[in-house]
């Protein structure tokens, strides 16, 4: 079965969301996003393999720990895997099995799903012995250049479901609008809600019900709901 490698940072992830979520909330949210990605790649017929920066237990999924940088860790791992390999980021909670199948079904030697700002959210490599990855700093351009130097064909796959990687607070708006998986449910459980102010959609952070003092619950009418 083809392998989908999912890089994952379980400890203190998504620091750009620190003003909205605490470290423990961000870790809970990261686990929920990972679960959505694992579910999508499995439903697409791939075997997930988590490449984690720290020890992590994910029942039913192989986890390998590599505390080194992302590119170094992947370039050490990829040649050891048989057949085509998909590398897909763990912060793509809108991903669907259909989006994954479209990417891995591309006829090119290398198929890339770009993210905002020139990132590489997912990349399918048919022969990992002929290709290496180089993430960060406009990695899409670097991956295109690596493929060209190796004389490999490339297809850039335009996919909304693979484009939205969750890094900034404003990204959460799209998740709350379009998401239907564990990540959206997690955000809502943490008290994150959509709010419209002067025609613009934003976010508000309401205390989760279990965090609201009993007296306050009674005063605001939330008790018993």
The domain tally of the chain equals 2
Which domain covers residue 192, as residue numbers?
A: 171-220
Residues 48 and 136 in one domain: yes
Q: What is the 3-state secondary structure (H, E, C) of the chain?
A: CCEEEEEECCCCCCHHHCCCCCHHHHHHHHHHHHHHHHHHHHHCCCEEEEEECCCCCCCCCEEEECCCCHHHHHHHHHHHCCCCEEEECCCCCCCCHHHHHHHHCCCCCEEEEECHHHCEEEEEECCHHHCCCCCCCCHHHHHHHHHHHCCCCEEECCCHHHHCCCCCCCHHHHHHHHCCCHHHHHHHHCCEEEEEECCEEEEEECCCHHHCCHHHHHHHCCCCC
Residues 66 and 94 in one domain: yes
Residues 41 and 20 in one domain: yes
pLDDT tens across 61-118, in order? 999 999 889 999 999 999 999 899 999 999 999 999 999 999 999 999 999 999 988 9
pLDDT tens across 17-57, in order? 999 999 999 999 999 999 999 999 999 999 999 999 999 99
Residues 159 and 176 in one domain: no
Residue 225, domain member (yes or no):
no
């Amino acid at each position: 079965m083809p392998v989908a490698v999912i890089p994952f940072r379980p400890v203190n992830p998504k620091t750009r969301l620190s003003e909205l979520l605490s470290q423990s909330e961000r870790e809970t949210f990261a686990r929920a996003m990972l679960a959505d990605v694992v579910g999508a790649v499995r439903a697409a017929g791939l075997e997930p393999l988590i490449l984690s920066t720290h020890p992590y237990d994910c029942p039913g999924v192989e986890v390998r720990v590599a505390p080194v940088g992302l590119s170094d860790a992947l370039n050490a791992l990829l040649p050891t895997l048989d057949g085509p390999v998909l590398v897909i980021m763990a912060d793509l909670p809108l991903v669907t099995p259909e989006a994954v199948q479209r990417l891995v079904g591309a006829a090119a030697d290398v198929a890339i799903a770009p993210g905002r700002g020139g990132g590489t959210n997912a990349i399918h490599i048919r022969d990992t012995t002929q290709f290496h990855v180089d993430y960060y700093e406009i990695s899409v351009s670097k991956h295109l250049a690596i493929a060209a130097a190796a004389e490999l064909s490339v297809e850039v796959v335009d996919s909304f479901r693979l484009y939205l990687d969750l890094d900034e607070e404003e990204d959460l708006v799209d998740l709350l609008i379009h998401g239907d998986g564990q990540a959206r449910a997690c955000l809502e459980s943490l008290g994150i809600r959509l709010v419209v102010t002067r025609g613009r959609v934003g976010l508000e952070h309401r205390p989760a019900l279990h965090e609201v003092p009993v007296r306050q619950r009674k005063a605001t009418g939330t008790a018993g709901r």
